[in-house]
Structure 1
């Protein structure tokens, strides 16, 4: 390696060897879970994938006949859980041992992971920030979430598609980003290519990349964080320095804009405004400005990137399975009539459409491995040794593609959630089984993402038909259902499709009140 001297390499190998010896003494005679073949010092590094990790360990578990897999590379130990029962036993029932987070060298040490409480180790700082988040996103504000989601879907997503149906991916991102901006900061948002939305998307894309183990060597070899920035191979430090500035800018500038709007006598309905008012009234506990700024970033992240991926997966499913699309549209029409748009009061009357959304979530788990947990003490599970300082991945993909629970898992089939024509509880709900994590680290913004997915998907089917795009000869372009998972997030690879106003519906008339104007 050009970035390390021979002395540094020898020192690294020596430290790993000492760790290897100590670890094996510590575990005594209790065996590790099954896993990849390991070699001294390097462990299983040569056999471990950097992309589609969730698929690799699902297949490995099937091959080995196990639902819990151990692997290790250069002294870093990891366990993959391919079964929801095991994940609940460890991450929920034994949450005191499993609720922390591992170190993300590129994020935690260089970008400052304290800014994103999802990365923060279990403790007072994490509890404080999560409390701020959940105070706002409680049932009392659910109606506001639904109102804003509906507004952005109608004024941004549907209207933009109606006027320019070619740029579907951009329209989805504009809608989800604008919704997140409004929900977090209450700021006016342009319907198309809003500067703040574009900036935020770039920042979060880079942060996700920084947290992905294979993208930067420092995430594999934390010792590299000590090398000078001028050395060859230290490009990650320059990236981190630049990203730190951008994250700080995103943390401060929209927050200040929200403060300014409040000073003008207008109180926007948003997370920042309510948190500042609560702090002014000193209700329950005091908040620092920095606390509100940091949690605001998490609010934005929870409401944006995952809903983009889920909505794109929904469109892909409707494109690949036209019979499902037609059946869902018939149900929507029976409830809404020809000229109606869905709202949240319609949801209980749409059982088949609800099953479609369950299947979307199962078919493409947006964060297939979740965020990793971290053990704070040694443990033993069903005769297997789980060491302190081990990174634990709950493989949601493996759980939602378990053939014993979901037969033919690669097929998109909402019918799997029905029995004798009625929704059945015999099949687990993917939303509750594995999609949003486990234990104390379960995603606190799940209901926000689900609300936006529901109203976006229902509205799209209510007014548009989704069909294959045509090539130059007028023939349908075949689309493959393939998901890209080079980072923590899984999303359909780019695909072409055609969205057209549904025959017999006056879509222009339905959308006439939403097509123009600024979104707030």
Structure 2
């Protein structure tokens, strides 16, 4: 026979269950596609181009908020910018958690550990300290990227990666890198391509069915365990190598100013007792990992857009020539006079670099616009769905910088600014490195168009090869699939004279 205490506990449980049932009954789940028993929508969600899939059902249902389920794991998809801001910013206390990946503070659940690492990051990297890193941005574009494109233009993807990763390694660890074939950059490329696979939404069913973590690795389909071990080893190797190299430069007195050197100095002085070596390593690897991957993809997308739309390329070059003349390279200070070039931010809309963002998790249940969201839901702000919304961006598949111009200037009343509002996330989880990424992208674009014409490759008969823009299937970082082009020094420009101080630099 049950005692009073057991009866009280049982009554409380029944009351809670009844409350949840009534709440769900009075507030339905958002619209969604039919679910199968047990598996829900798990078999319907593709591993490739997931961001495109998440947009389609909403269009058919006439709803920009979508509900899916996989093995009982609730998922809410937001294809609307206003909804994303309402939930992820205005209700950030509910929507700011994330799945936990120990290697990166961006994937920490919302709490003390995340706040500590975020504080450590923003103390060193913030708009107030941009002036400190501007010289390095200029150095890596002028001493690294432009000479490499001049000497071996067909390897442009590798040169873009060397520039972006080299800059990130410099600000994270203060390391100088070789202009070509730097060993740390080569290793980091392997490591961080592993990251994009490891944390891509839906990459493995273990994301939505955590019990699979305990399935033996020999079971068919459970290869995520073996891959996870390999990925972690790669990431840790590049992290340890970079960290040890930074410590070595500090010990021999050749250290350059960087996140690692500054914070290791503070730690040795006891100025910030909360900061550990592991914190410094983790944030350092995120700076040159996650940050460089997105800037690489954005820069290659820019090159593809200029190749596909030569009239836009020519117009941007005319604007550059009118401001710079023929005898100097662009600086960061020129951007205010280059509205059309700045409008080429359309690159970030045309190919949303992080099309699904990084999933949020709800810490509590919620009701929004009459729809019920369960506690523990995965919430995905589908940047692709927002930036390909035909109501806001007509003909979304067309690259059109004029979308962001009004009377020859950047429009002050853009409904969605892809530079800030979508590409770098929402709310408390917005990417804190955005202020560095945007100047780097601007100077890369301006410098390439100042020096080179981006032209199609020619076939055996001398005719230009057709360019068909295609993008990777991954939904974490979207990058153009391989394509060929030429970087031809512009006629009327003394390119060798423009680059004379940089062509023979080997160490940056």
TM-score band (shorter)? over 0.9
Instruction: Tell me which of 345, 348, 362 is aligned to 2:349.
Output: 362
The alignment partner of 2:102 has SS state of: helix
1:413 matched residue in structure 2: 400
Instruction: Tell me which of 177, 192, 195 is aligned to 2:183.
Output: 195
2:309 matched residue in structure 1: 321
Structure 1 residue 486 displacement after superposition = 2.0
Q: Aligned pair 1:35/2:32, yes or no?
A: yes
State how far apart, in whole Å, the 1-side matches of 2:230 and 2:35 are. Answer: 38
Structure 1 residue 76 displacement after superposition = 1.4
| 1:32/1:386 contact within 8 Å kept | yes
Relative distance call for 1:211 and 1:23 in structure 2 (3 A) is farther
Alignment of 1:273-422 (within 5 A): 273-283=261-271, 286-356=274-344, 358-422=345-409
After superposition, the CA RMSD in angstroms is 1.9
1:467 matched residue in structure 2: 455
1:15 matched residue in structure 2: none
Q: Aligned pair 1:430/2:424, yes or no?
A: no
State how far apart, in whole Å, the 2-side matches of 1:274 and 1:475 are. Answer: 54
Segments of 5+ residues of structure 1 without an aligned counterpart are 1-19, 103-107
2:9 matched residue in structure 1: none
Instruction: Report the more deviating stretch, 300-309 or 367-376.
Output: 300-309
Instruction: Tell me which of 473, 483, 490 is aligned to 1:502.
Output: 490
State how far apart, in whole Å, the 1-side matches of 2:450 and 2:384 are. Answer: 30
1:237 matched residue in structure 2: 225
Relative distance call for 1:278 and 1:69 in structure 2 (3 A) is same
**Per-residue Cα deviation, 1:79-101 (whole angstroms, up to 9, x for no partner):** 11111111111111111100001
The alignment partner of 2:66 has SS state of: strand
Task: Number of aligned residue pairs: give it.
Answer: 491
Structure 1 residue 196 displacement after superposition = 0.6
The alignment partner of 1:132 has SS state of: helix
State how far apart, in whole Å, the 1-side matches of 2:109 and 2:355 are. Answer: 21
State how far apart, in whole Å, the 1-side matches of 2:57 and 2:475 are. Answer: 20
Relative distance call for 1:22 and 1:190 in structure 2 (3 A) is farther
State how far apart, in whole Å, the 2-side matches of 1:286 and 1:125 are. Answer: 10
The alignment partner of 2:379 has SS state of: strand
State how far apart, in whole Å, the 2-side matches of 1:92 and 1:444 are. Answer: 15
State how far apart, in whole Å, the 1-side matches of 2:85 and 2:222 are. Answer: 40
Scaled by the length of structure 1, what TM-score is found?
0.90
| 1:368/1:396 contact within 8 Å kept | yes
State how far apart, in whole Å, the 2-side matches of 1:22 and 1:227 are. Answer: 35
State how far apart, in whole Å, the 2-side matches of 1:181 and 1:21 are. Answer: 55
| 1:95/1:440 contact within 8 Å kept | yes
Alignment of 1:143-222 (within 5 A): 143-222=131-210
| 1:501/1:507 contact within 8 Å kept | yes
**Per-residue Cα deviation, 1:216-239 (whole angstroms, up to 9, x for no partner):** 343343222113345554432222
| 2:424/2:430 contact within 8 Å kept | yes
1:13 matched residue in structure 2: none
The alignment partner of 1:46 has SS state of: coil
**Per-residue Cα deviation, 1:115-156 (whole angstroms, up to 9, x for no partner):** 211111110111111111111102343123221111111111
| 2:243/2:281 contact within 8 Å kept | yes
Relative distance call for 1:496 and 1:214 in structure 2 (3 A) is same
| 1:209/1:487 contact within 8 Å kept | no
State how far apart, in whole Å, the 1-side matches of 2:39 and 2:281 are. Answer: 41
The alignment partner of 2:67 has SS state of: strand
State how far apart, in whole Å, the 2-side matches of 1:297 and 1:21 are. Answer: 47
The alignment partner of 2:153 has SS state of: coil
Scaled by the length of structure 2, what TM-score is found?
0.93
